Amino acid sequence: MATKILGIGSYVPEKVLTNKDLEKIVDTSDEWITTRTGIKERRICSPSEASSDLGYKSALNAIANAGILKEKIEMIITATITPDMPFPSTSCIMQKKLGLDNIPCFDINVACSGFIYGLEIARNFIDSGTYSTILIIATDCMSSVTDYTDRSTCILLGDGSASAVVAKSDEGPGILGSYLGASGKYAELLYMPAGGSRQPASIGTVSQRLHYMKMEGSTVYKIAINSMVDAVNMVLKKTGISKDDISLFIPHQANLRIIQSVGKNLGIPMEKTFINIERYGNMSAASVGVALDEAARAGKVRKGDIICMVAFGSGFVWASNIIKI
Ligand code: ACO
């Protein structure tokens, strides 16, 4: 028996925010954003949409794609850094929306690595025999923590969601292995200072714009490349898979130049690398899952393929895995 992704689904909000739109808001240009990041547009929630609304739609798509009754789900793990509210967990909100009850639900806060961390947590619960079917929902409304007066961050981020049903299956091999990493010493290079117990919301924190994401972009850029290269090498070593055996490489979609550098360092050609950053920007936890779903729907995932995913985000937290279809 193998532990595998039985079904995958994604959802992005309808509203499109283009580089041309951003030119009207901050001192930037389509040319600068395109050449420095590869991003042309991103999706933005409507005022009535929150992370659980996107998550609900991607979860329904994943459950339908898995071909199971939702009642088979025994646990919900939601990966988000933009929960609907500090508590209860977005997972509990998702459980209610899905009409399920009395199954364990919890959130994980690992930023852009959320989809891969979620898969690995689910795999361990399943491999240990505790549960057999787990729903992972990676969902972020980054627009809710984006400062649209800060040109160095607002051009990067977008909203979206991806879900996966992970289950025991007699059709293997499934998830071959994962590598998880983190380093809290870099916490303040990419963070949201206020809104937690350290600096609860106040007129002062709002007026100082402390409820938005702050990032030292060029330092994050360099560490992101090294960490993702290291994470892929670690998971290749762990699973005994050669980089040449990778059929499809799905890196986190934060910046096209980061993706190109990671691929070049690893010796993985761009033809094997899935890229959709031009349409969505960085959707944090959702990016890798949305890419996997789009790759599958585009016919780029075939029986016997070996897929390598890798991500990096706030924390810093990074993760990689290898899946055989
Ligand atoms: N338009 C025009 N000019 C800009 C813009 C903009 N939108 N943003 C910055 N600039 C300017 C800067 O002010 C600077 O000007 P100066 O030289 O006069 O001071 C110049 O462009 C260069 O700025 P850099 O920050 O050095 O630009 P860089 O090439 O590093 O690109 C970027 C910035 C795109 C943010 C890049 O550093 C990056 O992608 N960083 C990593 C992002 C990432 O991976 N985040 C991790 C995941 S996010 C998460 O976890 C939620």
- Structural domain spans, the chain: 2-171, 176-324
Q: How far does residue 116's CA lie from ligand 1's centre (Å)?
A: 26
Ligand 1 shell residues, CB under 6 Å? 28, 32-33, 36-37, 111-112, 151-152, 155, 190, 217-218, 220-221, 224, 254-255, 258, 282, 284, 313-314
> Rounded CA gap, 8 and 1, in Å?
20
What pLDDT score was predicted for residue 1?
Answer: 78
One-letter amino acid of 320? S
- What is the pTM for the complete model shown? 0.96
What pLDDT score was predicted for residue 173?
Answer: 83
Just give the CATH number of 176-324: 3.40.47.10
Neighbours of 85 (CB within 10 A): 11
Per-residue three-class SS string for the chain: CEEEEEEEEEECCCEEEEHHHHHCCCCCCHHHHHHHHCCCEEEECCCCCCHHHHHHHHHHHHHHHHCCCHHHCCEEEEECCCCCCCCCCHHHHHHHHCCCCCCCEEEECCHHHHHHHHHHHHHHHHHCCCCCEEEEEEEEEHHHHCCCCCHHHHCCECEEEEEEEEEEECCCCEEEEEEEEECHHHHHHEECCCCCCCCCCCHHHHHCCCCCCEECHHHHHHHHHHHHHHHHHHHHHHHCCCHHHCCEEEECCCCHHHHHHHHHHHCCCHHHECCCHHHHCECCCHHHHHHHHHHHHCCCCCCCCEEEEEEEECCCEEEEEEEEC
What pLDDT score was predicted for residue 171?
Answer: 81
> Rounded CA gap, 259 and 57, in Å?
28
> Rounded CA gap, 229 and 126, in Å?
28
Residue of 17, 34, 36 with the most ligand 1 atoms within 8 Å of its CB, for mutation: 36
Q: Report residues of the chain scoring pLDDT below 70.
A: none
Q: Are strands 133-141 and 75-79 parallel, antiparallel or unpaired?
A: parallel
Token code pair at residue 101: 């009850």
CA atoms within 13 A on the CB side of 47: 0
What pLDDT score was predicted for residue 302?
Answer: 93
Just give the CATH number of 2-171: 3.40.47.10
> Is residue 211 flagged as an active site residue?
no
Domains 2-171 and 176-324 share a fold: yes
Neighbours of 46 (CB within 10 A): 10
- Name which residue sits closest to atom 35 of ligand 1, judged by CA: 217
